[in-house]
Structures are given as structure tokens and as C-alpha cells.
Amino acid sequence: MFSGIVESLGEVVEIRAEGTGFRLIIKDELIAADTNIADSICVNGCCLTVVETDETTMQFDCGPETMKKTNIGDFVVGSPVNLERALAVGQRLGGHFLSGHIDGCGTLIQRDDSGEYAFFRFSVPRALAKQMAPKGSIGVDGVSLTIVDSEPDEFSVALIPFTLQVTTLGPMKVGDRVNLETDILAKYVQRLHESEGWDEIAGIG
């Protein structure tokens, strides 16, 4: 589990094709120095398993499903990435619970800067919009944010200067894709609603 509070900005230093997937190598001295093989690291919101590591880099294997469902397939050498280590028991939770399992991608369709602050609007698949609500939580590239407004095909967030400075959201441009993870509770509420007619369909009751 993660909190959506980015610990560090890493850098993609190598992308190596391997079979139907690829090996992703990220440089970040802060995180790598305290990381072991098999640890889970949140990379732009996506939970990846460390397969090799040293004092400055971490290596991850990314399969076809990761490339299909996330923006990790868009990475190039030099791409900045948001990094967060898994939560420890007893640690303060500053954001909201994130599993690191990406639900889909959105696209930045509007950016309005006002001084040091910014207002972003993203397009979103309608299936995910059902799990969003104004003042609810959303994970955007692994960053815990509060939804300002939510429509059937888009949602907006307001960003403070600190978030713009320490995450990949700062330099983001209209047209850039982001990984999205909706609130865990919203998924269960939607599933409960969808399952209300299951007994009648199965002829039970």
C-alpha cells in the first residue's frame, strides 16, 4: 500500500527490451540506497517489484499488461518519475490509500496557471468517472489529489506550488497522459451496486 505522497523524483536511465516486455532501470540515490530485491516501489502510481538494485539504481520488469494499462510504455531515457516506497506499519498517512494498481489513463486537456498555483483538467474513461466524486480522492501518476469537479468524461484538480515543484505534474503539458487510480472504497461501492440484481438473475430468492 502507498499514500500518494511522492518521496523523490527519479530518472529513467535505461529501457531494455526483454521478450514481450522490457526492463526498466531508474536512478534515484535516495530510494535505491534503502531498497532491496523484491521490494515494492510506486513508479508514477504503478506498483512495481524491484528485481535488481544497487546504491543508485533500481531495476523492474514490465510486462505487456503494464504497457497496456499505464503510461510507463511512454517512458524514454531521461523521463522523470514519481517514486514512493511502500507504507510501513504505524507510519503517518498523509494522502490516501493507494494500491499501486492502475485503473486506466487520463489525458491533460486543460492547464491554467495562476501565479505559483495551477488548475488541471483531465479527460477520463467514463467507466472510471463513475468512481469519482467532487472532494473525493484520486491518484494521478501516484500523486494523491483531491477532485475539484467530476463530469462523465473529465475531472479537475487544483495544484499547490509544492506539488508542482516536487512531482512530475509541474512540467506537464496539454496532451500528456497520466496513470489514474480511483479510490478503493469507490470501487467496492460500485461493485455492491452492480451486484444487487445478481440473485434475481440466478433465480435465487
What residue segments make up the domains of the chain, in order of their start?
A: 8-85, 104-192
DSSP string over 87-132 = PPTT----S--B-S---EEEEEEEEEEETTEEEEEEE--HHHHTT-
Q: Is the dihedral of CA 112, 131, 4, 25 positive or negative?
A: negative
Class of domain 8-85: mainly beta
What is the per-residue pLDDT across 34-55, written as a single tens digit (0 to 9) for each? Answer: 999 999 999 999 999 999 999 9
DSSP string over 155-179 = EEEEE-HHHHHHSTTTT--TT-EEE
Q: What is the pLDDT of residue 152?
A: 95
Ranges under pLDDT 70 in the chain: 200-205
Q: Are 26 and 81 in contact (CB under 8 A)?
A: yes
Tell me the three cell numbers of residue 83: 517514486
Q: What is the pLDDT of residue 195?
A: 85
Q: What is the pLDDT of residue 187?
A: 83
Q: What is the pLDDT of residue 202?
A: 60
Closest CA to 126 of 108, 142, 146, 103: 103
What is the per-residue pLDDT across 95-125, written as a single tens digit (0 to 9) for each? Answer: 888 999 999 999 999 999 999 999 999 999 9
Closest CA to 45 of 145, 155, 113: 145
CA 18/CA 63 separation, integer angstroms: 9
- Tell me the whole-structure pTM to 2 decimals: 0.89
Q: For the domain with range 104-192, which CATH number is right: 2.40.30.20, 2.30.110.10, 3.40.1370.10, 3.30.470.30?
A: 2.40.30.20
